Structure 1
Amino acid sequence: MNFSAESPLENTDITREKISAWADSHGAKQVDVYGKPSNSHLQELERIRNLSKELQNNLNDLENSVYIPEEEKQAMNPTAPILDYSEHHEFVSANQLDDYYAKEDQADAREEEQRRLTKGKAAKTAIQRFYKDQCVFLTGGTGFLGKVLIEKLLRSCGDLDTIYVLVRPKKGKDPHSRLHDMLDEFLFHRAHEENPKGIHKVVPVVGDMEEPGLGISNEDRKMITSRVTIIINSAATVKFDEKLSIATGINVKGTKSVLQLAKECKHLKALTHVSTAFSQTHVKHIEEKFYEPPMSVEALEAVAQLDDSVVDSILPTLLGNRPNTYCFTKAVAEEAVRKYGEGMPVAILRPSIVISTYEEPVRGWTDSVYGPTGLVVGIGTGVLRTMYMDEDKVADMVPVDLTVNAIIATTYHTANNFKENQTSDIPIYNFVSGAQAPVTWGQFIDANRRHGTSKPTTKAVWYYGLNPTKSYYMFLFYNFFLHYLPALLIDSFCALTGRKQNMLKFYSKVIKLANILFYFSTQDWRFNDDNVREMWRSLPSSDKTLFPFNMADMSWEYMAETFLLGLRVYLVKDDLSTLPEARKKWNRLYYMHQCLKVITVCVVLYIVYSLFNLISWLVLG
């Protein structure tokens, strides 16, 4: 009787191949003498099976822990429509998402190229070589623009020697503590990673722009005049309704003191004064040149010494056709640069309205609520319901990171030109978007509506519903019925229920912030930016990659999404992980908004009907 090599209980034919296979398996201790799997082999199989299960469980846990935005999930199915949570429930296709992610890939490629250049894997660029071993003195370093400027210098010009930052005590904090806390902010995380030793190159200099001689000690003054080679004056009070005495002290007297300090610097290579594109709003076509100031530097300093009540009474006469103390004093500050900067390597950069970052060091970063930033926050949270603006006027805005790159390039360009030409002419650069990449207020608001309704915030109190108007009387009408009347009703309800009443006070602040923008949202200007374009063309390609500021390359659609996400995360403090929750809330607010509109229409119709009946009864008896 023949027996199987696989089992002693079954008849089978014995072949040479089966005997050979059994011998090999038995020799490898995979089967026993009867051809059954050995215990050691069974244990090995069980171990592999357990490892496989463990790996599968880990993969499942990983999949559950990673948040995949709904847009990406939908993009996996090209035929599935993507719901845009807007009032009109528009749909976008998967192809549009493909275009979006293609732009993201391009941005990542640009960032990787910048990292490559910054980390020294490539030869240093011309601008990097210029800043190598230089000592920079910076005013306004703790402000919105100054922070981004310091961060960029640390990352992309890491070989510089020192950045001296003028800092004053504030809110009980000494300058060293203020600077230390600032450098610990999220904005500087990338600089910490790419240039960890660079943070120690930022050194505070105790002083104050309003004080004589900047309030700098004799010891610090000697150190600055002997070591500093580059000065960037970006300090300014950006409060448009600031007291004239304060605005003059910071914007004019401070600038004058910086120029006097620069004259004492033994090794000065360049000084860049950051002004504003709106310093000359009395003309509609603003060129890159000096204009006649509204008042001399000395006369304004004398007026600022008067009692505030006296100054307030004559302020409208002083301002003339200038909209506010900010634009007024910045115009006089340019006159101070022309007068006291003669014979020095000085330049003026005039950026328009500075908004959040475009790409660097992170997309959409901001810590300022002024201007369009406050406008979009108010719209996105449902707080701002109307705005006085002409939607056809150009909204001239520039991202802060591109502005910083322009400042860095202007300083380099000024030093080179002064060294080569030894000219006393002070160049002016209008850094604006309207000349090369114009966007109207209507386009800007519409882009923010699209992205804001698809990526809402959990902090929203009502659905999107802005009613812009270029009629001031219609604005007053909307403002009363959409802002003050609801606020009054809410405060009345709070008073009856014993709660705190603060809505009227809150809306007064909101409208005050909005009022600041009215002058700029109802008219526009034409800017020349030939000097900026020429400076851009003169840069080598490596510097264009590392320090981009060409406005013609900017996409406002990309910027609008960047702007919204940045405000949501960095200003409203609402993490992107809350998007699913925010969309549910947004849908609820949408239906509540529609119901309220229906109720309002019904109430109005009822009132009209009642009035019609009353008139008919009075007339016809």
Structure 2
Amino acid sequence: MGTEILNMLTPKMIKDRPNTYTYTKSIAEYLVHEARGELPVAIFRPSIVGASWEEPVPGWVDNFNGPTGLLAAIGNGLLRNMIGDPSKTADIIPVDTASNMMIACSWITAVNRSAIGNVYHCTTGQLNKLTWGMVEKDSYKYFMKNPVNTVTRIPNPRFTKNLIHHEILMLFDHMIPAYIMDFFLWIQGKRTIFVKIQDRLRRSVGSLDFFTSNEWQFANGNLYMLLNKMTTEDQKTFNFDPKLIDWSKYMERYCLGTKQFVLKEELSELPRARKNLQRLQRINLFINVFGLIILWRLLMNRFTMAKSLWNFLMGWAVKIFKSLPTLMKAT
């Protein structure tokens, strides 16, 4: 089919599903269920697969899929505003947790054929909740502690439920800075990139709005049924208990893993990256102070009350400054 026909048919086919990705997952499960016959088959459903918790090393990840792409853009300072509800569950599951549970599912399905057709949810939401607000807070905290080398702006991720607020932030915090940075690249004779990056980011992040604004309840009975059938030794070897995940430690590992394994940056370069971030903080402080001074001067010229308040504050500042020598002698 041509693109035009597909675009017409897609909404009718997927109906109330958010995208074709979830629709094709459903089709795959249906086909497996219909065609399994007497084969020992189970359905394994991980939620949002993220970086590893422990294996092969903490924070390991090898692609930009899912939350990793968001973290890379947050770390670079390119992604600062997203549609989402900070109180909703970010049902991220570490890749090694999902892998361990998948192996255990294969084992129990093969040895216990009465479990044929079972569905196993590998999720964390009802067992050890991580919210998008926690992702926002921790990604800021750990990218400030361990910044990426290519940071262009101070990392400052924010989720908002209000579409109008989001569009205002996108204009002033994304697009206008992107045009300004491209202007400086243009006058230096370099290729402009920041507006194009923002356009791509907007399309990419927009596809996640449905998932960052909603949450779901998953039944986890089969997860603990599976754990209880395993020996203590196997439980340690194939650990997939979501309650054992420390989300603050996990997010620090995830941010470092994104820097090290996806952005291909050496941890030995962290001191230089921190100096670069400190320079950006000083520039940001200067711009904010300069902007406030200009705004205040404009208000003073336009409003008598603002001018009176300015004169009052300056008068007090002069009095305090003059009294400093006397106060210092007294102490």
TM-score normalised per structure 1: 0.47
The alignment status of 1:362 with 2:60, answered yes or no, reads no
Choose the corresponding residue for 1:408, options 86, 90, 103.
103
Structure 1 residue runs of 5 or longer lacking an equivalent are: 1-305, 614-621
Specify the code of the residue in structure 1 equivalent to 2:100. N
CA contact (8 A) 2:175 2:195 kept: yes
Q: Within 2, Cα distance between the matches of 1:562 and 1:325?
A: 32
Structure 2 residue runs of 5 or longer lacking an equivalent are: 305-331
CA contact (8 A) 1:436 1:551 kept: yes
The alignment status of 1:319 with 2:27, answered yes or no, reads no
Aligned partner of 2:293 in structure 1 is 602
CA contact (8 A) 1:383 1:461 kept: yes
Task: Give 1:518 shift.
Answer: 1.3
CA contact (8 A) 1:396 1:432 kept: yes
> Aligned ranges for residues 218-367 of structure 1 at < 5 Å?
306-367=1-62
Structure with the largest fraction of helix: 2
CA contact (8 A) 1:371 1:516 kept: no
1:554-592 CA deviation, whole Å, 9 max, x = no partner?
111121111011111111221111122222222111222
SS of residue matched to 2:106 = helix
The alignment status of 1:445 with 2:136, answered yes or no, reads yes
Task: Give 1:357 shift.
Answer: 1.0
Q: Within 2, Cα distance between the matches of 1:353 and 1:412?
A: 23
Choose the corresponding residue for 1:529, options 200, 209, 220.
220
SS of residue matched to 2:208 = helix
Task: Give 1:442 shift.
Answer: 0.7
Specify the code of the residue in structure 2 equivalent to 1:525. W
Aligned partner of 2:66 in structure 1 is 371
Task: Give 1:466 shift.
Answer: 2.4
CA contact (8 A) 2:136 2:159 kept: no
CA contact (8 A) 1:374 1:513 kept: no
1:403-446 CA deviation, whole Å, 9 max, x = no partner?
1111111000100111xx3x6x4000011011211111111221
Name the CA shift for 1:312/1:610 in 2 (closer, same or farther; >3 Å).
Answer: farther
Name the CA shift for 1:490/1:581 in 2 (closer, same or farther; >3 Å).
Answer: closer
Structure 1 runs (4+) deviating above 6 angstroms are none
The count of corresponding residues between Structure 1 and Structure 2 is 304
Specify the code of the residue in structure 2 equivalent to 1:348. I
Aligned partner of 1:385 in structure 2 is 80
Aligned partner of 1:467 in structure 2 is 158
Identity %: 30
Choose the corresponding residue for 1:580, options 255, 268, 271.
271
CA contact (8 A) 2:85 2:213 kept: yes
Q: Within 1, Cα distance between the matches of 2:187 and 2:257?
A: 39
Q: Within 2, Cα distance between the matches of 1:612 and 1:329?
A: 61
Specify the code of the residue in structure 2 equivalent to 1:372. P
Task: Give 1:343 shift.
Answer: 2.2
Aligned partner of 1:546 in structure 2 is 237
CA contact (8 A) 2:140 2:156 kept: no
Q: Within 2, Cα distance between the matches of 1:605 and 1:339?
A: 70
Work out which of the two has the higher radius of gyration on C-alpha atoms and give 1 or 2. 1
1:139-191 CA deviation, whole Å, 9 max, x = no partner?
xxxxxxxxxxxxxxxxxxxxxxxxxxxxxxxxxxxxxxxxxxxxxxxxxxxxx
1:36-75 CA deviation, whole Å, 9 max, x = no partner?
xxxxxxxxxxxxxxxxxxxxxxxxxxxxxxxxxxxxxxxx
Q: Within 2, Cα distance between the matches of 1:413 and 1:572?
A: 38
Specify the code of the residue in structure 1 equivalent to 2:282. Y
SS of residue matched to 1:323 = coil
Aligned partner of 1:505 in structure 2 is 196
Q: Within 2, Cα distance between the matches of 1:463 and 1:405?
A: 37
